[in-house]
Homo-oligomer: A and B are copies of this chain.
Amino acid sequence: MFYIIGLGLSDEKDITVKGLEVVKACSRVYLEAYTSILLVPKENLEEFYGRPLIVADRDMVETESDEILRDADKEDVALLIVGDPFGATTHADILLRARSLKIPTRVIHNASIMNAIGACGLQLYNFGQSVSLVFFTDTWKPDSFYDRIKENVEIGMHTLVLLDIKVKEQSEENLARKIYEPPRYMSIPTAVSQLIEIESLRSEGVLSPETTLAISMSRVGSEQQRIVCGTLAELASLDNEVFGDPLHSLVIVGKRLHHLEVEFAEEWATDKANWRKVARESYAVALDEPST
């Protein structure tokens, strides 16, 4: 059997009991290490699971899937995925390959950022499509996310913005050698400034620094989880330390907003009075005026 097992979002104890039983029983266990990361090193997982893990980077999962699947028709092999196996990417390729090799497969689900983002208090019902934001360079500023956010904004939906992770990237001069750049994780201030940059280039009024509300979530699901909310301009102006270590995710708040959601998130607002003011005036949320 070939298992794909979600690890959840934060540390070695976020695996399910069912997943852990499988991990302990498999002949080989691979850890996929490029679409997202846990907040603890691989060694913590190996110690807790009581077995070695084989790191599977992008090359391996994409081009050596037959090695991962080797003998999985006769023994149990597992691929561990941070979050859920069908979170930000579907891993359909390797499952299709297993199917064509007549290897039975099983998926063990877990939390992913796609549902745990609900911890910000916004109803998951009212999220539209998600977008990914990549690091801009001087010459490359892909902006297709802007059209997608626009579609969501026009029907009042919230947008989950997944921020770029660069793991095992190579600089141009090192392309021929196996030398990699240190990993980079996009932070909230970078993400928000990129959003504002594209808004000022496109000028279609999808985002407004002063009247678009957003909620940042750092290290979702961990004890170090942090939530900060405010207007885009407010979030862009905060020091990166406010958000803390990676990973960061961002929600752009759509107009279909309920006063209970505003009140739930108010605790994390960088400026509570302005949070309520913008919700009342720009989102037409029925909120009490502040008591004077």
Q: Chain B residues with Cβ under 8 A from A155's Cβ?
A: 129, 151, 155
A123–B93 alpha-carbon span in the complex (Å):
12
How many copies of this protein are present in the complex? 2
Would you call B114 and A111 a contact (CB within 8 A)?
Answer: no
Given A18-B13, A125-B130, A157-B129, are A115 and B96 neighbors across the interface (CB < 8 Å)? no
Nearest residue (CB) in B for A147 is B155
Is the CB of A255 closer than 8 A to any CB of chain B? no
- Judged by a CB distance under 8 angstroms, whether A167 is at the interface is no
Alpha-carbon distance A11/B19, docked complex (angstroms): 12
Contacts of A126 in B (CB 8 A): 129
**Which residues between 121 and 156 of chain A lie within 8 Å of chain B, taking CB atoms?**
121-132, 151, 155
Q: Is the CB of A90 within 8 A of B121?
A: yes
The smallest beta-carbon distance between A291 and chain B, in angstroms, is 16
Quick check: A118 and B87 within 8 Å, CB to CB?
yes
Interface readout for A87-118 with B: 1 if CB under 8 Å, 0 if not? 11010110110010000001111111011111
13 residue pairs bridging A and B, Cβ less than 8 Å apart: A8-B110, A12-B17, A14-B17, A17-B20, A86-B116, A86-B118, A92-B121, A92-B261, A93-B260, A96-B263, A99-B267, A124-B130, A155-B155
